[in-house]
């Protein structure tokens, strides 16, 4: 399958702040850099309660929400920022990141075109727009192949595109929390951000076998309480992931699908029923499938929620691949189920 990467450089904007306001913002940034996004959000919410229009605080909250997979909430923030600061390209760029993670590529395209209109020399937006067009083209080629499996031209174009993106200079560091710009730009409405604004984070949104376009930046929670839970829960989480892989390898579609939480939502606008039908077809079609879960890394978020990242190897009679896989797990009854699935470069 084709793996497509969308790389995004996120830069902060700022409005002038008093010393007290800047101290509160710096505390939120420090919490984020230390891997405590929930505490950073709480700090920002307190700040925004008395400074609801502060651009930097809103922007930072939007970034954290993207990292926490709360894409709809992030979209609301970035949409509002594009209306309040239409001359700045960064909110449009981050809005495109959020749209693309939900498979809303046309909306992402429009947002990036707006970023380029406001700042024609904004190289990041130009590059991202090219990637969006490539992702849309790949979808079209895949659809062509689903209608005509003998379409050699479409297959060759997919292979060429896959090779193109595989040699890209992608700096994907999923375990590092977003760095925070230490020096704000001058008043946002008076001066647009420079085209070479310092990068804050890089996000990868691949689209492969599971067609899930998630943002790959994973925040660590290093609290003592979480560490205590980990020793008791990790085996259950790892066991659930391996049982999921075994069901896939056994081509047991019912068992495979049973590992997904009732709240699991497919990407790209697919309904749960349509996604399940698609997965059944892809699992039953090969003569054999072999899935391995290697080098697992587990992070316990709470007693009922965790994430696991591992190297997944896939082999069948028609295709083989390996990638980093990220599963966000949540309890459903006594079992751990998948609520979010992402394949990482």
> What CATH number does residue 291 fall under?
3.10.450.50
- Would you state the pLDDT for residue 267? 67
Domain shared by 94 and 57, yes or no: yes
Domain shared by 152 and 266, yes or no: no
Determine the Cα–Cα distance for residues 188 and 30; give it in Å rounded to an integer: 23
Assigned domain for 159 exists: yes
Give the pLDDT band (50/70/90) at residue 154.
low
Calculate mean pLDDT across residues 98-117. 87
Assigned domain for 1 exists: no
CA distances for 96 relative to 60, 79, 154, angstroms: 16, 10, 27
Q: What is the average pLDDT value for the chain, to the nearest integer?
A: 73
Assigned domain for 217 exists: no
pLDDT higher at 200 or 57: 57
Q: Which residue has the tokens 């990790």?
A: 234
Calculate mean pLDDT across residues 23-49. 87
Calculate mean pLDDT across residues 179-205. 33
User: Which residues span the domain enclosing 100?
Assistant: 8-203
Determine the Cα–Cα distance for residues 243 and 167; give it in Å rounded to an integer: 33
| Domain tally, the chain | 2
pLDDT higher at 170 or 101: 101
Domain shared by 25 and 107, yes or no: yes
pLDDT higher at 191 or 233: 233
- Would you state the pLDDT for residue 269? 64
Give me 179's structure tokens. Answer: 């760095």
> Can you tell me whether residue 103 is helix, strand or coil?
coil
Calculate mean pLDDT across residues 15-19. 55
Assigned domain for 215 exists: no
Domain shared by 233 and 156, yes or no: no
**Do the Cβ atoms of 332 and 262 come closer than 8 Å?**
yes
The DSSP element (H or E) to which 257 belongs, if any, is helix 253-257
Domain shared by 193 and 305, yes or no: no
Determine the Cα–Cα distance for residues 40 and 260; give it in Å rounded to an integer: 30
CA distances for 256 relative to 248, 260, 283, 325, 338, angstroms: 6, 8, 9, 16, 11
Domain shared by 154 and 75, yes or no: yes
Give the pLDDT band (50/70/90) at residue 124.
confident
Assigned domain for 210 exists: no
Assigned domain for 154 exists: yes
Give the pLDDT band (50/70/90) at residue 17.
low
Q: What percent of the chain has pLDDT over 90?
A: 22
Domain shared by 188 and 289, yes or no: no
Q: Where are the beta strands (DSSP E) in the chain?
A: 8-9, 202-203, 289-302, 305-316, 320-332, 335-344
CATH, residue 41: 1.25.40.10
Domain C-terminal end among 203, 233, 259: 203
Domain C-terminal end among 143, 172, 203: 203
User: Quick check: 329 pLDDT over 90?
Assistant: yes
**Do the Cβ atoms of 218 and 309 come closer than 8 Å?**
yes
Domain shared by 186 and 233, yes or no: no
When mean pLDDT is compared across 149-163, 197-211, 321-335, the lowest value belongs to: 197-211
User: Quick check: 315 pLDDT over 80?
Assistant: yes
Calculate mean pLDDT across residues 208-234. 49
Determine the Cα–Cα distance for residues 249 and 256; give it in Å rounded to an integer: 9
**Do the Cβ atoms of 92 and 111 come closer than 8 Å?**
yes
* CA 43-44-48 angle, 5° bins: 125
Calculate mean pLDDT across residues 107-126. 84
User: Quick check: 149 pLDDT over 90?
Assistant: no
Assigned domain for 259 exists: yes
Domain shared by 167 and 254, yes or no: no
Give the pLDDT band (50/70/90) at residue 254.
very high
* Prediction pTM value: 0.46
Assigned domain for 213 exists: no
Give me 303's structure tokens. Answer: 């007693």
* CA 105-340-61 angle, 5° bins: 70
Domain shared by 250 and 194, yes or no: no
Domain shared by 241 and 183, yes or no: no
Give the pLDDT band (50/70/90) at residue 9.
very low
Calculate mean pLDDT across residues 111-128. 82
User: Quick check: 73 pLDDT over 70?
Assistant: yes
Domain shared by 163 and 260, yes or no: no
- Would you state the pLDDT for residue 116? 87
């Amino acid at each position: 399958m084709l793996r497509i990467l969308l790389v995004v450089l996120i830069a902060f904007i700022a409005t002038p702040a008093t010393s007290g306001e800047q101290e509160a913002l710096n505390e939120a940034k420090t919490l984020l850099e230390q891997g405590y996004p929930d505490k950073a959000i709480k700090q920002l919410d307190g700040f925004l309660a008395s400074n609801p229009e502060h651009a930097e605080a809103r922007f930072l909250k939007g970034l954290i929400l993207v990292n926490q997979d709360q894409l709809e909430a992030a979209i609301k923030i970035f949409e509002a920022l594009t209306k309040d600061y239409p001359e700045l390209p960064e909110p449009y760029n981050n809005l495109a990141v959020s749209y693309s993670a939900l498979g809303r590529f046309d909306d992402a395209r429009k947002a990036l075109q707006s970023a380029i209109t406001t700042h024609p020399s904004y190289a990041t937006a130009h590059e991202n727009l090219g990637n969006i067009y490539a992702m849309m083209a790949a979808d079209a080629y895949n659809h062509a192949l689903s209608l005509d499996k003998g379409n050699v031209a479409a297959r060759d174009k997919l292979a060429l595109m896959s090779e193109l993106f595989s040699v890209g200079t992608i700096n994907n560091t999923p375990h590092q929390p977003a760095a925070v710009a230490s020096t704000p730009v001058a008043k946002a409405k008076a001066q647009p951000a420079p085209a070479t604004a310092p990068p804050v984070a890089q996000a990868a949104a691949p689209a492969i076998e599971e067609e899930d376009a998630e943002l790959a930046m994973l925040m660590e929670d290093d609290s003592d309480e979480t560490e205590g839970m980990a020793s008791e829960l990790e085996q259950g989480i790892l066991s659930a992931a391996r049982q999921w892989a075994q069901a896939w390898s056994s081509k047991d579609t019912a068992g495979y699908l049973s590992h997904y939480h009732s709240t699991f939502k497919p990407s790209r606008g697919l309904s749960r029923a349509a996604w399940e039908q698609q997965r059944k077809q892809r699992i039953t079609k090969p003569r054999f499938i072999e899935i391995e879960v290697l080098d697992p890394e587990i992070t316990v978020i709470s007693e009922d929620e965790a994430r696991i990242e591992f190297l997944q190897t896939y082999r069948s009679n028609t295709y083989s691949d390996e990638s980093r896989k990220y599963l966000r797990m949540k309890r459903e009854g006594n079992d751990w189920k998948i609520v979010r699935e992402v394949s990482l470069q």
